A and B are shown apart, each in its own frame.
Chain A
Amino acid sequence: MNAIDFSPYRQQLKCNFSRIEDVFEECIFDALYHLSPQGVERYLEGASLVCKIGRGFEPVLIYLEEIPEMANRLGEEIISEVADAVWRMSRSPNGVAIPHFMQCLPEASRRLCCDEQMRHFIKLIFTMMEATTKSIHGFHSTIPSPGLPQLLQQIPHLLNQLSLEGLKNWIDYGIRNYNNHPERQRDYFSLQSADSKAMLQRERHGTLYVDNERKLDLYLRGLWQLQDHFIPYSLGFDELRKPQPYFDPVGIRLPDLYDDRNGVSGIDRYRALLAHVAAHKRWSSEIFVDNFSPFQRVAIETFEDSRVEYLAMRHFPGLRQLWLKLHPQPDENDCHPEQESCIRHRLAMLSYALLNPQHNYQNPDILSYVEKFHALMANSDSSLQEIANLAVSFIARTRRQQDQAPNVYFKDTEIDYRDDNRHLWIFIEESDDEDYPEQPEKRRVSDDKLEGLPPRHYPEWDYQSKSYKPDWVSLYESMHPSANSADIDTLLAKHAALAKRLKRILDLLKPQYFQRIRYQEEGSDLDLDIAIRSLIDYRCGSQPDPRINMSHIHNGRSIAVTLLLDLSASLKEVPDGCEQSILELSQEAVSLLAWTIDQLGDPFSIVGFHSDTRHNVRFYHLKGFSESWDDNVKGRIAAMDAGFSTRMGAAIRHAAHYLESQQSDKKLLLILTDGEPSDIDINDAQYLIQDTHRAIEEIGAKGIYSHCITLDKKADEYIADIFGPNGYTVVDHVEKLPEKLPLLFTSLTS
């Protein structure tokens, strides 16, 4: 990794702080992995801009260090947006706040999931800044916002408790009340004053999405056998239209917060929404939009919503109660068809009547269509096409002059646990506005050769031609570089409590490793069973066995273990809701595991790998079988770094090559990874999956057991294909990895 020439990049960064040289390589390395070539360019431009503002080295440093990861999480737009924001701040009298601003960004980006929310957030900060920056009448000079630095320092704390909308309200209150009292403004925004705390309490309501992500994931999986991405949005920013939930191939958009309503808890409101979405996913198809008028479309949407809910309630009758509590109950006589457009009112009444058999509506059209609906659903699931016909006839039947009127009756017609139904419609004219940015093409660093051993060649399995490509992959192996071993001791110290618990488990396991050696003429204990048997033999008149003692040896276990670490670039990611990157968590987990296995005395090695096309799979030794858990090994773990891709097959074959020569009865290859096999020269995802599966079979035939621990929540789709139904464990909670890994090992081997 050392031989890359970074100087062209350094030249693009126009900044002369001498301390930059200490960090530049690391940062640009990070950027090259996370960002597209354009992204890297923008990143360097942005850094130059931040440098130019003359606020010292710190803002530049934070920018350089944090942006690649943030951009990776939120999209590359954010690169210029941040630089731009810093620039604008520097043009205002609020330059002093820039370091604080930079400092709160990483935490904000973790809490705020997506780029849109991040943009709202930055806008919010600037609104506050502009409102509180004062110009003195008649002078040209202005005075900086008194509260801004305080606010920025509190951001991580605030975002942990508030939704973005809550934060906005809290800030608005502060501006409204203390705009002319610099002292009290400072108190408010530093959360010192009483009303500041009270406001925080008031805004801290409802059920936050971030705190319940796993529950929602389990809900979809358990009740609907679905898995999907969730993408939360905030209410209270779009003033024109209230955002509505929806789903598309990217994921399900849902509010970042739900308050309890009508006796339904926030979490159950999320479930009500997910149930509706899941019902669409199971039973809805698509239909051409062009054949229908706008009224027909809304009617089709309402009828289809009712149809899928009806089907869902067949499976989960409890949903009726839940949905009913959230469904508006339009009053039959509230809307006047002579004066206003009652289209929404009519459809909401119909929808309510379909959900609640005890509705009291008298309108003959509603009654007749409720009946038709039930007739349609009586013996089948019906279909979108059929329900569309019914909807179209409903519109024809109930048409009123005033339907076209501009004043549409709105009250009690909004059913907000339902999505906006965009998935139902296909447009003949393909619209060309791409909603989601293309996957940035990852930049690769080429041509850095590792000194040392000549490459080894391994074959790769091509599932399409059902044959091996001989000597297809070149694998370079080397010793992993080393860093400060004390870092690992610090990590272990942090987990002292866990280590204590593990120790207790290990002690419980231990007696099994004391093997009793029976039939000893001399030993440490009398073996009562045998002694009695000898006595019986003696009484029976046959030759008694004199070997009536037993002794113990500490050798029940004969198992050799290799831990194979995926060191690909994705390890640098910080998962949602975590403080640490997967890499750091892996370091902790690996250290604890190494410590555990060391306590048990099993032969153990640690190796790692990543790949950059088939020509360059690197394989690192972190701990050899013969090494003990000492400072050398710790030093290498401390230096663990992530980059490149995950070509797993060759690495598995090579790790097995070493493990095979161990003398133990059982051999175990543990594989720790955070995603599926992939490499930049491969487009067919199945190819590397199949090759890895093949590699697992090959080593299985050599008597090596393999077990994969994956941190990829989406692993269900492929992991069993590679490792077999019992050959893997999915760790849903990455932050639990340090605890999980050693426990998993002990349970695997006990």
Chain B
Amino acid sequence: MSNNQPDISQYTISQEPFYEPQGDEIALYGAAYAARLPVMVKGPTGCGKSRFIEYMAWTLKRPLITVACNEDMTASDLVGRYLLDANGTRWLDGPLTIAARIGAICYLDEIVEARQDTTVVIHPLTDHRRTLPLDKKGELVTAHPDFQLVISYNPGYQSLMKDLKQSTKQRFCGLDFDYPDIATEAAIVSKESGIDSDTAKQLVQIAHTARNLKGHGLDEGISTRLLVYAANLMQQGIEKRAACRMALVRPITDDHDIRDTLDHAIASVFA
């Protein structure tokens, strides 16, 4: 049953993803991978965490299996389960098991969303054992030597119910991400969207305005992702200010005073 190996090719990244380094994260991650240490990437939404992992998987030539975690996810959603079929039952590996078998990088996105009883299944995989017990199946999968686990984690969440247990946290080494400096972020926006670099800089300036207001009516500032959206709209021929209002302001807040301030910032930047 389990010997019909899944098709690895679907998980491999064929083209080099564009990733603009912010610091020495590539070297640090490389070292962690060389030692097969599990990694946790932290940072605000849309600052390039997922993109970085994709890029590293490509650099290290490993397949990448990404799981977006949610509250309803159970351990079997990660590990696998038996299914009924016409002539009996059939075991189906979950994404974590597949990754452990084929030696992929397994990326659990937004791990805090998963319930704590789900997250504990990764424990044996993330310490010296590097094994994954499939209780139902009576199998103990030993992880492929190339296998690595990565989780992402947004510390901005202000909920103590959604925190990782210490015993989970302490199985990872961590990399902090934040929005990059102005020049780097502008380079990213312009590369991603093809927009000219002056406009990209102006977009970043608007993002900074919003990031300054975090905690004063805004929960999160404007992310790099939204800047790319705004630039894409401009590339579609939308007028700059309109594109900004649509991609940068409307999604993040309904607070009238803040909208008004951001709209004014847009008008000041795009004269």
Indicate if the CB atoms of B212 and A726 lie closer than 8 Å.
no
Indicate if the CB atoms of B156 and A726 lie closer than 8 Å.
yes
Indicate if the CB atoms of A223 and B271 lie closer than 8 Å.
no
- In the assembled complex, the CB of A337 is this many whole angstroms from the nearest CB of chain B, namely 36
Indicate if the CB atoms of A316 and B268 lie closer than 8 Å.
yes
Within the complex, which residue of A539, A540, A730 is in contact with B216, where a contact is CB–CB below 8 Å? A730
Indicate if the CB atoms of A318 and B267 lie closer than 8 Å.
yes
- Interface positions, chain A 258-274, Cβ under 8 Å from B, are 267-268, 271
- Interface positions, chain B 229-271, Cβ under 8 Å from A, are 257-258, 260-262, 264-265, 267-271
- Interface positions, chain B 135-149, Cβ under 8 Å from A, are 136
> C-beta contact mask, A531-545 vs B, less than 8 Å → 1, else 0?
011011001100000
Closest to B162 in A: A750
- Interface positions, chain A 726-750, Cβ under 8 Å from B, are 726, 729-730, 732, 747-750
- A126 close to B (CB within 8 Å): no
Within the complex, which residue of B84, B88, B89, B209 is in contact with A222, where a contact is CB–CB below 8 Å? B209
A730 and B84 alpha carbons, distance in the complex (Å): 54
- Interface positions, chain A 547-604, Cβ under 8 Å from B, are 559
A319 and B267 alpha carbons, distance in the complex (Å): 9
A535 and B89 alpha carbons, distance in the complex (Å): 10
- Tell me how many residues of A have a C-beta within 8 Å of chain B: 41
- A666 close to B (CB within 8 Å): yes
- Interface segment out of the listed A10-18, A193-201, A211-219: A211-219
- A397 close to B (CB within 8 Å): no
- B203 close to A (CB within 8 Å): no
Indicate if the CB atoms of A215 and B160 lie closer than 8 Å.
no
- B9 close to A (CB within 8 Å): no
A217 and B215 alpha carbons, distance in the complex (Å): 13
Indicate if the CB atoms of B216 and A705 lie closer than 8 Å.
no
A148 and B262 alpha carbons, distance in the complex (Å): 46
- A119 close to B (CB within 8 Å): no
Closest to B202 in A: A317
Closest to A730 in B: B215
Within the complex, which residue of B81, B155, B217, B264 is in contact with A726, where a contact is CB–CB below 8 Å? B155
Closest to B213 in A: A222
- A320 close to B (CB within 8 Å): yes
- A221 close to B (CB within 8 Å): yes
Closest to B261 in A: A218
- B167 close to A (CB within 8 Å): no
Within the complex, which residue of A219, A666, A716 is in contact with B261, where a contact is CB–CB below 8 Å? A219
A315 and B125 alpha carbons, distance in the complex (Å): 51
Chain B residues whose CB sits within 8 angstroms of the CB of A180 once the complex forms: none
- In the assembled complex, the CB of B50 is this many whole angstroms from the nearest CB of chain A, namely 22
Indicate if the CB atoms of B271 and A532 lie closer than 8 Å.
no
- In the assembled complex, the CB of A553 is this many whole angstroms from the nearest CB of chain B, namely 16
Indicate if the CB atoms of A536 and B213 lie closer than 8 Å.
no
Indicate if the CB atoms of A223 and B161 lie closer than 8 Å.
no
A747 and B216 alpha carbons, distance in the complex (Å): 17
- B210 close to A (CB within 8 Å): yes
- B2 close to A (CB within 8 Å): no
Indicate if the CB atoms of A317 and B159 lie closer than 8 Å.
no
- B131 close to A (CB within 8 Å): no
A668 and B268 alpha carbons, distance in the complex (Å): 44
Indicate if the CB atoms of A540 and B88 lie closer than 8 Å.
yes
Indicate if the CB atoms of B161 and A222 lie closer than 8 Å.
no
Indicate if the CB atoms of B264 and A268 lie closer than 8 Å.
yes
**Known A222-B262, A539-B89, A726-B155: A716·B215 in contact at CB below 8 Å:** yes
**Known A268-B264, A535-B84, A536-B84: A218·B271 in contact at CB below 8 Å:** no
- B199 close to A (CB within 8 Å): no
Closest 4 CB pairs of A and B: A318-B268, A317-B271, A316-B268, A318-B271
